Amino acid sequence: MRRAVAVVIAATGALGLGLSSGPALAGPDHEPAAPPPALVGAPPPSIHQLELEAHRGEPPAVRVAPPPYHGTAARPQRIVYGYYPYWVADLASIRWSALTHLAWFSIEIDGRGAVTAAHGWPDRTTVDAAHAAGVRVDLTFTLFSGADILALTRDPARRATTITTMIDRMEAGNADGISIDFEGLIDGTRDHFTTFITELRAALTARGHQAAQISIAGPSVNWAGADGKPEFDLPALLPQIDVFFIMGYGYFWSGSANAGPIGILDVDRTWRAATGWSMERTLADFASEAGPAGRAKIVHGIPYYGREWITADDGAPARASSHVGAVTYSASVADLTAGATRRWDAATGSPWYAWQASGAWHQVWYDDAESLALKYRMIDDQGLGGAGIWALNYDKPHAALWDLLETTFGAPPPAREGSRAAPVPIASLPFHDERTTVDAPGRWFNYYGCAPTTPEYGREWVYRVELCQPGHLAATIADDSATDVDLHLLSALDEDACLARGDTAIDADLAAGTYYLVADSYVKDLVTSEGPFALEVTFAATPGTACPVAPPDCDGGGCDDPPIEDAGGCCSTGGDGRASLLPLALVALLARRRRRRA
């Protein structure tokens, strides 16, 4: 078939890629799912770096002011953060109503904090267009040498020079914030980098930019160094920044042994042989490290591009004999229009297509509206701050991805019953329920405080039980041999509020209160063990304890003492002998009334 991609690969590894539909790309992508032995400690450079190098020496694209903005669509309810490289130019193709942040990419600096390339900044045309639509502009600063990053961040004088330069440039171009894209951190940099970000925040405040935002571009895996510590100290960084942008692409890259989705959603047993990392595992790790409040600052970046490999066959996953190049979304659409047949891999949530040319199989894995909708759903499930894009204009002139952003983030997401936002109420006891986690509505809980090293970031069902008197709660869960759904008892909707965990059963003596049971899918060998389960819950009240019933009508604020059941049942018993649960709010109400009467 006629290809939309022409590729030239030099012996040195430099790559130039021209596309007939969309801007040029170059790669390999950033960190692989697990660095091959020869690359441990030095993962391949990110697509941010490779594209910047591929376009080095090019003049900045000439940008023409778009028509006046008259958007009427609802603004995004989450962060939508798009990188805008200096080599792309079509401001009119950006649907501003679907965007919250534009990251102008980029100003290059060296290890002393000096600007080595400004690439056309200040760019008032782009900034004015964004501001007219209510979109923030972050000015991106790039440094891709681990040695230079360490030299800069550990030296107080260099840090001060760099910070002054950054703020001066931000002010000169009327940007709203600063984006830090420092990649390839080496051992010994972690704490110095945190100090640098802390000082940057303080300097912005001192210069009157209290509303300025700071974002950091980070890898899809927060790799640990020789000291065992992750390269980014996320708990220390998050209080100082507004966005931590995960570069969620590069799970399959130019050096991969297999062809596959660069932004892979999930893995099953078949794909496990090709990779152990996926968006699901990445978000579970980052979300748990960030904590409940910090999740709102996590933005997961998704690719508006894919990759082409020459493969052994047209199966999935297929062994890759060589990498051809990167393919923008626009180029993929052109291929499909020209006759390529779109396929769908349900295990990874990814579209792809394949063809034979001169006896060799070619595969292209990319993302489209269907696969991105699944990724956006996972962002919502994990309670993250939003989605990011590498890169704007890579989809022009097509509207599908913009339409998806507007429909997904233009309104608050629905609260799906059985998720953390809307637990299934256990209205009476004993309780029996049968479901499957294959289509469970939630995926928020990952690593529980009562078992912090046990991975349980698969799909989950959340139940709420309200006990109006103390007693003994027993819960059991049964599943089949191909499924491993575990049970967790929580005092609040937080991983650290875990009171007990059981593979098959939980027994707990509890005070009156509201509790949650989570049926969550265990992750075995990096694959979630989702499937059907049956849940049984019983409760025996502590004998002799008082349990309130509904109060009589009150007149003028005075109430007679309500009758009290003192029989050991849970509040009241229906005609079928099942205990019904009065809300804990009623217990609090009765307690307040008693205090007033006293």
pLDDT digits (tens, 9 = 90+) for 417-433: 999 999 999 999 999 99
Supply angle C-alpha 582, 584, 589, rounded to 5. Answer: 100
Q: Are 563 and 582 in contact (CB under 8 A)?
A: no
| Average pLDDT score over residue span 201-215 | 98
Asked if residue 596 has pLDDT above 90, the reply is no
CA distance 560 to 551: 8
| Average pLDDT score over residue span 175-200 | 97
Question: Which stretch of 40-49, 134-143, 165-174 has the lowest confidence by average pLDDT?
Answer: 40-49
- Phi, psi (5° rounding) for residue 499? -95, -35
| Average pLDDT score over residue span 253-266 | 95
| Average pLDDT score over residue span 591-595 | 36
> What's the confidence (pLDDT) of residue 549?
53
| Average pLDDT score over residue span 123-129 | 98
Q: Are 47 and 25 in contact (CB under 8 A)?
A: yes
> What's the confidence (pLDDT) of residue 72?
79
CA distance 273 to 160: 47
Q: Give 295's pLDDT tier (boundaries 50, 70, 90).
A: very high
High-pLDDT (> 90) share of the chain, %:
81
Report the candidate in 281, 277, 364, 289 with the shortest Cα–Cα distance to residue 320.
Answer: 364
Look up residue 487 and give its two tokens.
């049970």
595 CB-near residues (< 8 Å, 6+ apart): none
> What's the confidence (pLDDT) of residue 547?
65
510-566 pLDDT per residue, tens: 999 999 999 999 999 999 999 999 999 999 999 988 766 544 443 443 334 443 443
To the nearest whole number, what is the mean pLDDT of the chain?
87
Residue 538, CA distances (Å) to 124, 308, 427, 430, 535 in order: 66, 55, 12, 5, 10
Look up residue 85 and give its two tokens.
């490289």
3-state helix, strand, coil in the chain (%, to 5): 25, 30, 45
Helix, strand counts (H, E) of the chain: 12, 32
Question: Which stretch of 2-11, 98-107, 579-588 has the lowest confidence by average pLDDT?
Answer: 2-11
498-502, strands of its sheet edge to edge = 424-425, 460-467, 513-521, 485-490, 498-502
Residue 247 DSSP SS3: strand
446-501 pLDDT per residue, tens: 999 999 999 999 999 999 999 999 999 999 999 999 999 999 999 999 999 999 99
High-pLDDT (> 70) share of the chain, %:
84
> What's the confidence (pLDDT) of residue 379?
98
> What's the confidence (pLDDT) of residue 29?
31
> What's the confidence (pLDDT) of residue 225?
87
CA distance 475 to 162: 58
CA distance 323 to 135: 37
CA distance 379 to 6: 34
| Helix or strand holding residue 281 (H, E) | helix 279-294
Higher-pLDDT residue of 574 and 152 is 152
Look up residue 6 and give its two tokens.
């022409």
Look up residue 159 and give its two tokens.
């840090």
Pairing of strands 386-390, 513-521: unpaired
Domains identified in the chain and CATH numbers: 5-409 (3.20.20.80), 424-597 (2.60.120.380)
> What's the confidence (pLDDT) of residue 28?
31
Look up residue 12 and give its two tokens.
């040195």
Residue 584 DSSP SS3: helix
CA distance 447 to 285: 8
Asked if residue 42 has pLDDT above 70, the reply is no
CA distance 214 to 202: 11
Asked if residue 218 has pLDDT above 70, the reply is yes
321-358 pLDDT per residue, tens: 999 999 999 999 999 999 999 999 999 999 999 999 99
Amino acid letter at 449? G
Q: Tell me: cis bond preceding 106? Omega within 30 of 0 counts.
A: yes
CA distance 409 to 446: 24
CA distance 593 to 558: 8
Q: Dihedral of CA 30/32/34/40: which sign?
A: negative
Asked if residue 569 has pLDDT above 80, the reply is no
377 CB-near residues (< 8 Å, 6+ apart): none
Asked if residue 506 has pLDDT above 60, the reply is yes
> What's the confidence (pLDDT) of residue 23?
38
> What's the confidence (pLDDT) of residue 10?
23
Residue 507 DSSP SS3: strand
